[in-house]
A and B are shown apart, each in its own frame.
Chain A
């Protein structure tokens, strides 16, 4: 895709988001449809870029397999309701294969796991949140911060809360009639325990198992020459 076209697309997408934000202030009762539209627009550039890449069969299957692994990773932990390693798997995929792949793995995992658990208006929000976990992890993958075990743990801890905070935005719509600070605070306080559990399990998995996962995934990447630098960001 030509550079100007791509820039135009990004500008259009951001312009659309800004317009939607203004529209929400004007017509509050449209919060739900507009927020869904907004999340869709935010994710659009990622999917367009994915479509524009000529991928080998191996690379396509790798993305699909990683998404499936992330989606089923809840199964061994079914006995522990607040523990799920989906975010951990997405972070690992992003650290090895890059930001764009990380985004796709996260969002595909969200779609796929919701196909089992039931789709709802929350699906796009989850796609966005997990996608963003992957994207940011991929962006930071060559920094010294993510190379250290403590850095990764801090990253997982932060995203454990951030994920919950983004998802709270969708549950906030129950209050859009008069969104006040007490209502806002009560929603965020109610989710604190769940966010903490998410953050702590991220830290647990990242400190103990990130080394092994980086090895396993890195080995496959090297052996099959997948998504090498220059081909994918």
Chain B
């Protein structure tokens, strides 16, 4: 089968590893430079994946969460040496304000990374990865995912009928609406549960359980995947080991620390920047390539 090009076409296992390292880095770094870089890279990643549509949809949630943490953290925590002002007899320190901002930033990073993850590792790729480890669970989830659009469609049909009969109407009382909603569910369950038993019988008659399941989608490790894998392993271990040895270990308390400008910090930063650049570069290269081919046509 033809694989998508760019970062989306990467072997799912490699992409999964990439996101694992990315998520761990998002959670690990409290250094303002590293977190800021992560945010920039994640925005670039989202823009290159779907033009930032998913990101814009979640924007409100991210803003509310970040603001909440930014405001509440200094109010509950009075650690730090530099007192800015007093709020109800509690000192509000510069350090805890900075800390709240950094923490809000890293939380937004984690959420953005999760959103990017679900754009790249779509459910079929996830199930492909999960099938060798947990075949029964993966299969159950596959079937559930197939049922959800079907059941949603059926629910809409049932509710159309209820509306036509006048059981559901605008401005009905809450309790009545809950009762009618349950009626919808009863119809759905009676309709679907037994039907799924028939599907099961049909599955068995076509040989379900007679051997190992194969996957509909196939991925082979290509040269590009190997190259990416090595790059991720190399850079990822640099990033994690460097962090564990205390590079970019930004301490806010008791007093704001100056930024780390040692040589090892620069190397660490460089590795991280290259790591972050992998998907946007892959996607950007694809786009350039496409433009050049098209311009030659």
Known: A32-B27, A57-B204, A177-B96. A71 touches B77 (CB 8 A): no
A25, chain B: closest CB distance, angstroms: 17
Known: A63-B140, A72-B152, A174-B73. A115 touches B123 (CB 8 A): yes
Whether a CB of chain A sits under 8 angstroms from the CB of B68 is yes
Determine whether the beta carbon of B137 is less than 8 Å from that of A51.
yes
Most chain A beta-carbon neighbours within 10 Å: one of B65, B111, B137: B137
Report the tally of A-B residue pairs with Cβ distances under 8 A.
181
Classify the interface of chain B: helix, strand, loop or mixed.
Answer: helix
Interface size class of A (residues with CB under 8 A): 35 or more
Determine whether the beta carbon of B114 is less than 8 Å from that of A120.
yes
Determine whether the beta carbon of B203 is less than 8 Å from that of A57.
yes
Task: Encode A89-126 as 1/0 by CB contact (under 8 A) with B.
Answer: 10000000000000010001001100110111100000
- Bound CA–CA A44/B96 (angstroms): 38
The B82-103 residues at the A interface (CB cut-off 8 A) are 96, 99, 103
For A217, what are the chain B residues with a Cβ–Cβ distance below 8 Å? 189, 193
For A56, what are the chain B residues with a Cβ–Cβ distance below 8 Å? 200, 204, 209
Looking at the complex, which one of B99, B139, B181 makes contact with A177 (CB distance below 8 Å)? B99
Task: Encode A190-218 as 1/0 by CB contact (under 8 A) with B.
Answer: 00000000000100110011001100110
For B114, what are the chain A residues with a Cβ–Cβ distance below 8 Å? 119-121
Whether a CB of chain B sits under 8 angstroms from the CB of A33 is yes
Determine whether the beta carbon of A208 is less than 8 Å from that of B107.
no
- Please give 9 more A-B residue pairs, beta carbons under 8 A apart, in addition to A76-B185, A77-B177, A178-B79: A57-B203, A60-B143, A72-B148, A76-B181, A120-B115, A174-B107, A175-B76, A177-B96, A180-B77
For this complex, 9 residue pairs linking A to B, each with C-beta atoms less than 8 Å apart, are A56-B204, A79-B177, A80-B178, A119-B114, A120-B115, A178-B76, A205-B178, A217-B189, A220-B197
